[in-house]
Amino acid sequence: MPIVDLDAIPQVALDFIDADHREEARLLNELGEAISAHRAGRSGPEPVLASFEALYVHTREHFAREEEAMLRSGFPPLAIHRAEHERVLIELAEEGQAFDEGGDAARLATYVGRSVPTWFENHILTMDLITARYVSTRGG
């Protein structure tokens, strides 16, 4: 069962953000599958780490695209939105490092299966929705 239903992701006013969210969810689901396989003994940690790295890289690039659009449009609360992106990237990196060093797949499964999806939907419905509305009216 996927962590995020790709067809249920809230849409915002900018296609590139919607596309990034869909890819983010796809990668999150892929990571969830890798964690499940590892926990069931069907694979080692390498597929988990590779999926995690793909998610992290995409997340960093996704955030950079949003921040560039906010900068170009003069989005007033850019610093607040950017700070949230930075916090999430730090948290994500810490969870990946904890798995890499300690191999605690249960901890990573909880983070990926509960914490990230909750944050993801909330972030879309608050910060990203407001950002997309502003940017789309300013041509950013």
Which pLDDT score is estimated for 140? 59
**pTM assigned to the model:** 0.95
Q: Please report, for the chain, the start and end positions of each structural domain, with discontinuous segments joined by +.
A: 11-138
Neighbours of 99 (CB within 10 A): 22
DSSP assignment of 81-125 equals: HHHHHHHHHHHHHHHHHHHHHH--HHHHHHIIIIIHHHHHHHHII
Which pLDDT score is estimated for 1? 78
Q: How far is it, in rounded angstroms, from Cα 67 to Cα 73?
A: 10
Mean pLDDT in order along the chain per 10 residues (140 residues): 94 96 98 97 97 98 97 96 98 97 96 97 97 88
Top-level class of domain 11-138: mainly alpha
CB 80 within 8 A of CB 131: no
